[in-house]
Amino acid sequence: MALSWCLWVAVALLSGPSTIHALAPENEVTLHPTTWLSENRVTPVHLPKGRARRLYFTLKKKADLLSVTVSPCAVPIEWSLAVRTLKDKPPKKAHWSSKKSMPEVWWRGSGREVRIYTYTGNAVDTYTGPAYAPASIYILRLKSNEQDTQVSAYLHEGPGPSGAFPELPSDPRVHTLGVGMTSVTLNWAPSSSVVVKDGHRPHHEYCVLVNHKHNYRSLCAAREGIRKEIQSVQKRQRRDKQSKEVVWGTLKDLWWQQPDALENRESSTTDKFEDPGCVCRDIESVCTVSDLLPDTQYYFDVFVVDRVNGTSAAYTGTFARTHEEARPAVTSLREGQVKWVTLNGDARNLQGDQFRFKPRGWQQNGLLTLHTCNSTSKVKVTVLSKGQTLTSQEVGHQLAQIWLHGAPSYLIQLQALASGSSLVIPKGDSSKSKFCLKMQASSAYHRRAVPVFPTTLQIKSFNKLRTCNSVTLAWMGTEERSLYCVYRRQIPLDSKHTSTDRCIDPESRPAKERVLCKYFQELNPRRAVTTAVVGELEPGMLYVFDVYLMRRWGLPIKYHSKTVRTRSEC
């Protein structure tokens, strides 16, 4: 007998599980381990994609009402509540040979199953209803068809609210009070759960989240979105082989420098409150979100958080677009117009003064001429077209020429700089932070390069040719045929300021100061010297002489003033 029994066991083991199941009773059904849903306790459940999870529970004898709350995380789920009633109570001791789980015992009895509630979505949902016959077992089925996710379930027996989840007001919408360029002010109806008692801070509070993508239906979904965003940024940074500091800097910009939101933690299976980057966390039902970008759309979500139970409830979020930055005024430059500009060296005026010039004709070319009126000041000139920078340079005390070509319209930005540096003049003394310059744009000049300046702007006086009533002057010209005008003015012998303001136009000077105008051209730059004899002067007097190079397509070029005293005796 002993030998026969051993042979039978060996055959059964070699034959596999099918033989063992064949030896089991006909009505035996193999079940997975039972998961019980406890009362008044948040039960976390992990849902694999496409696989249903079941949770079982029974009610106490005196319970006449029950409520089941299911809180999804980031994706929609399907969940249903069914009850299985028995005609007869199951025996206290099962007559089957093997040990059975309690739901399996209920299944073997005679009875029927009734589905009492179903829901599909990603919002927190609660079923409340009467209890069935005492000899009943409830089955909560949960399923996610999109991806693996986390779910929280909560069972409450008896009437009244469970108190595990915060209460939302009758109007759970978030309202926008005000929108600015970098801030948005929100308010919402207060929750009855947020109550201050005996001066102690309640264990409920509000958490306000902001992001660029969409509104969230739960705090768990918000955490999941933050986690995915962090992982996406980390993968992108690893792919670009950038440093760890750059990764953290990018994450801080994304989530408003909230360190708790930047930790690489696993997704929470419950709503245990870990700050996901709340821009406001308070008991007041109003919040001003600052440090936003202009002309950008943001989504705002408000959650009531129970820090003790680790649960939360979501208001209906809202969105708003911040106002765009005030665009600086753009002044049009007319063809050949001489524009006087007063620059203010305010550090807050990052774009400076702006001007628009549209050249005439199909060639779309032009010549921009600038001349500062302060000998120690500099100006940064930036020329743009269609948002692209064409050229950028600093202009000092010398007259500057910029050739414009290849665009139908040009945006010219002028910004005052400190003397000897590229820094914006700090706001302070108005006499130091403001100065003037002249500017002209013309499309009359058709060459493909800027006009040539004289090799020097000095004026020479010949002492041997100086008389009691005349002075001989000489200056350098260019190879282009141009008009030169000579001006004079008499000053006192003890005068200390002999130089003429270089920003004064020849047309604005008195007509009696103009001595002569002459055309000159010399193709050899080394020999491009012209002279003029200025007569009708008084003996022993001090005179200031100025020469202007007149041009049709740009500002006149003023030579350096020359002071000469006529002879007293001849």
Task: Please give the biggest Cα pair distance in the chain.
Answer: 159
Q: Judge whether residue 242 has pLDDT over 60.
A: no
pLDDT at 399: 80
**pTM of structure:** 0.52
Structural tokens at position 150: 């986390």
In terms of phi and psi (left: phi > 0; alpha: psi -120 to 50; beta: otherwise), the region of 159 is beta
For 331-467, where are the alpha helices, taking DSSP H only? 430-433
- Higher-confidence residue: 32 or 482? 482
What is the share, in percent, of the chain residues with pLDDT greater than 70? 76
pLDDT at 498: 72
Q: Are 208 and 186 in contact (CB under 8 A)?
A: yes
Q: Judge whether residue 258 has pLDDT over 70.
A: no
Give the range with max mean pLDDT: 20-24, 25-29, 39-43, 276-280: 39-43
The predicted-structure confidence for 130-140, as pLDDT tens digits, reads as follows 888 766 789 99
Give the range with max mean pLDDT: 97-111, 260-274, 454-468: 454-468
Strands 43-47 and 149-157: antiparallel
Q: Please give the Cα distance from 536 to 67 (Å, whole number).
A: 113
Q: Are 488 and 513 in contact (CB under 8 A)?
A: yes
- Higher-confidence residue: 19 or 153? 153
What CA–CA distances, in Å, run from 461 to 506, 533, 543? 21, 10, 12
pLDDT at 257: 42
Q: Which SS3 state, helix, strand or coil, does residue 455 take?
A: coil
Q: Are 303 and 207 in contact (CB under 8 A)?
A: yes
The predicted-structure confidence for 108-123, as pLDDT tens digits, reads as follows 555 678 899 999 988 8
First to last CA, the chain: 159
Q: Please give the Cα distance from 271 to 76 (Å, whole number).
A: 17
Q: Please give the Cα distance from 395 to 371 (Å, whole number).
A: 8
What is the average pLDDT across 301-314?
A: 88
Structural tokens at position 548: 């202007």
In terms of phi and psi (left: phi > 0; alpha: psi -120 to 50; beta: otherwise), the region of 215 is beta
Which distant-in-sequence residues (6+ apart) come within 8 Å of 256 by Cβ? 210, 277, 279, 291
Residue with tokens 């099918």: 18
Looking at the DSSP bridge assignments, the partners of residue 390 are none
The predicted-structure confidence for 47-64, as pLDDT tens digits, reads as follows 999 999 999 998 887 788
pLDDT at 109: 55
Give the range with max mean pLDDT: 87-101, 244-258, 292-306: 292-306
Q: Please give the Cα distance from 26 to 231 (Å, whole number).
A: 51
pLDDT at 351: 58
Q: Which of 103-107, 142-146, 218-222, 412-416 has the lowest mean pLDDT?
A: 103-107
What is the share, in percent, of the chain residues with pLDDT greater than 90? 33
* pLDDT confidence bin for 179, thresholds 50/70/90: very high
Q: Which of 9-13, 112-116, 200-204, 382-386 has the lowest mean pLDDT?
A: 9-13
Q: Identify the CA nearest to 150 among candidates 17, 310, 269.
A: 269
* pLDDT confidence bin for 22, thresholds 50/70/90: very low
Q: Which SS3 state, helix, strand or coil, does residue 253 take?
A: helix
Q: Identify the CA nearest to 277 among candidates 285, 295, 265.
A: 265
pLDDT at 51: 92
In terms of phi and psi (left: phi > 0; alpha: psi -120 to 50; beta: otherwise), the region of 346 is beta
The predicted-structure confidence for 337-378, as pLDDT tens digits, reads as follows 888 888 775 544 555 688 999 988 777 888 888 888 766 678
Cα pseudo-dihedral 273, 277, 280, 284, rounded to 10 = -10
What average pLDDT does the chain have? 79
